[in-house]
Structure 1
Amino acid sequence: MRFYIQQFIRTIMMAVFAVFFLRLHVTGELARYVNPKYDGMSQLAAVIFVFLTFIQFSRIWKSKKDNQAHCSKECSHHHGDDHSFLKKVISYVILIFPLLTGFSLPPQTLNSSLAENKGTLLSEGQSLDIVQESDDHQYFPAVENTDKNHNEKPLPNNNYLQEEAYQKKMKTLEDVHSIDMNEDIFSSYYEVIRASPRDFVGKNITLQGFIYREEGLHSNQLVISRFLITHCIADASVIGLLTEFEQASSYEKDTWMEIEGTLDVTTHNGAELPIIKAKRGRVIKEPSNPYIYPVLRKMTD
């Protein structure tokens, strides 16, 4: 029997890839890389790598007789790979590199630095004309670092909705006086509010997000933001609502907050934008899954 080192290396690589995918599912870290709708595909990938591991394992040891039986002394062709040693090394490095980074570097949550690199979150322009705020509802109590209601794990993000349920939620947005920007409907609500801000003036709103600041904002302004993931982290885009309150300058960027306030309208270089006149706010812990996803509407059961 002959031991084949290349087959052994490939077996180890297949096994490690399988462990990596299984680890992402067990720890729940997969959602920090891709949209949860791809859970099934990643599970299938893990199964495939397990299968390939067993296939490769059977090739580690082979009989010399079996290996040479089909070739005579005059045989001039070469067995095994025809690639040069350098090409083999490069191919292994390409495969090993994502494993090394995947295991050695913990997944990092996207933050305002990426938002800054992607450019302006609000409408384009340099000037910012703010609607005059009313002092009688600018009450912002002392910040709390923890809250018993937010020690619990957030519900798993389910970005699938039946068409009937989706239409009901969108109808609720028009009828209710208080809007709760839950993760499962956040992107759809945001799109409607951003498109027709005057339709929601005076309505109460509650949302959670991280602090992002753009150049040109007043000292009492910031943006409560979320990263929207369509497929994977690479296509992440930041969305958020301009928020105004007296203590805004005392909070660091990337701080996670829950804001309650009243929707109003402001202008940014001639474009109307929704703005939250904050009444209450508090610092919260970053959610276990800080991203939001587009609503995928199911037409049938």
Structure 2
Amino acid sequence: MIRLYVLAGFACLFIMMHLGGNLNKYINLKYAYLTQSAIVMLIILFLFEFVRLYRKERAEHERKSKAERRDHDHEHDHELGHAHGDVHPHTHHEHHDESHEHHRHGDRHDLPHAHHDHFGHSHEQPIRWKRIVSYSILIFPLLTGFLLPVQTLDSSFVKAKGFSFPNFDASADNPGFHQFLKPDSSVFYGKQGYAKVSREELEEFLPLKEVGLTDANYLKGLEAIYNFPDAFIGRKISFDGFVYAGEQTEANHYFVFRFGFIHCVADSGVFGMLVDFPSDTAAFHNDEWVRVTGTLTSSFYQPFKQTIPMLRVTEWKTIPKPQDPYVYRA
């Protein structure tokens, strides 16, 4: 019965994510068909388990009904036998001998049964604990999914995790690693395959007079900029993001970030670049959303001990937080 409830719980949780519009906080909606397939599979398994339990319960009910009818017929025959004065043909001594023989045989059979019950009980205990542990593992994500609110990531995540910037030629070999600053989809391609994809994506942005990074192309465009910085130096670039005051070398330097998913939350990250605001700009607070436009340059960033792309701002304005603050890999 617990399995039935677990299957129903996961199906309802996925359906709730779809209907509540929170699925995009867990996976790239490009892969929403996976959760839709999971819902269908869970419903099928739920129906299969429901039918199995129904048949089992019905068979048990029929067995008990037959046993009750058999006992009732036996009692009825016994009452009829007394009413007609029937006497069992066996003598008192035969009854005594049979009882004695049955008792002796019973004594011989009782000991093995007792021995078997003892060991059966000892084997049953670890099995029961295994079931408790396995069901607890399944029930825990259900409880957190239903009871805990969905939290939108912000600068506190960046502050708690910190962020690092690998060399341009280095790529993480673990797709479950949270990425920072530079989007890196190389872990999902072979070396030659990634080189081809990178070149194709570069060709997509090179003809643009002004590179406007939107929700649809943010991760793709930013990865192209980091992979081929020389091709974009001196070009006009604009994008939206939230401000994070990192370990900047100057007071008017801030990072402007967007949280993004390549596939799902396992390979999510905070992506953006260092931004140089005009010297007369008032100080920003973390999580303040801005739209920046400027010229791409580069700067040696001491905490990373390397040169990274930097946007020298010519225009900027504060904007309200978007309804969906995340961006996704197309």
Cα distance between partner residues in 2 of 1:93 and 1:183: 39
Is the CA contact (8 Å cut-off) linking 2:260 and 2:270 kept in structure 1?
Answer: yes
Is the CA contact (8 Å cut-off) linking 1:198 and 1:265 kept in structure 2?
Answer: no
Alignment of 1:28-39 (within 5 A): 28-39=21-32
Larger Rg: 2
AA matched with 1:32:
K
Aligned partner of 1:41 in structure 2 is 34
Deviation at 1:240, TM superposition (A): 1.0
Is the CA contact (8 Å cut-off) linking 2:294 and 2:315 kept in structure 1?
Answer: yes
Q: CA RMSD in A?
A: 3.4
Structure 1 length normalisation: TM-score?
A: 0.68
Between 41-50 and 175-184, the greater mean CA deviation after superposition: 175-184
Identical-pair percentage = 30
Distance 1:10 1:198, change over 3 A: closer
Identify the structure with the greater helix proportion. 2
Aligned partner of 1:106 in structure 2 is 149
Is the CA contact (8 Å cut-off) linking 1:262 and 1:277 kept in structure 2?
Answer: yes
Cα distance between partner residues in 1 of 2:327 and 2:31: 14
Aligned partner of 1:159 in structure 2 is none
Deviation at 1:98, TM superposition (A): 0.7
Encode CA deviations 1:222-272: one digit per residue, 9 max, x unaligned: 111123323321222222111111466622212222212222222224743
Cα distance between partner residues in 1 of 2:24 and 2:41: 20
Deviation at 1:100, TM superposition (A): 0.9
Alignment of 1:1-301 (within 5 A): 7=1, 9-58=2-51, 59-60=53-54, 61-64=57-60, 84-122=127-165, 170-171=202-203, 173-245=205-277, 246=279, 250-269=283-302, 271-295=306-330
* Higher-RCO chain (CA-CA 8 Å, sequence separation at least 6): 1
Distance 1:276 1:67, change over 3 A: farther
Deviation at 1:169, TM superposition (A): 6.5
Deviation at 1:286, TM superposition (A): 3.0
Deviation at 1:122, TM superposition (A): 4.8
What secondary structure, in the 3-state scheme, does the structure 1 residue paired with 2:134 have? helix
Cα distance between partner residues in 1 of 2:238 and 2:310: 13
Distance 1:63 1:114, change over 3 A: same
Structure 2 length normalisation: TM-score?
A: 0.63
- Unaligned segments of structure 1, at least 5 residues: 1-6, 125-165, 296-301
Distance 1:180 1:67, change over 3 A: farther
What secondary structure, in the 3-state scheme, does the structure 2 residue paired with 1:183 have? coil
- Unaligned segments of structure 2, at least 5 residues: 67-108, 168-197
Distance 1:224 1:67, change over 3 A: farther
Cα distance between partner residues in 2 of 1:104 and 1:248: 43
Deviation at 1:33, TM superposition (A): 0.6
Cα distance between partner residues in 2 of 1:28 and 1:10: 27
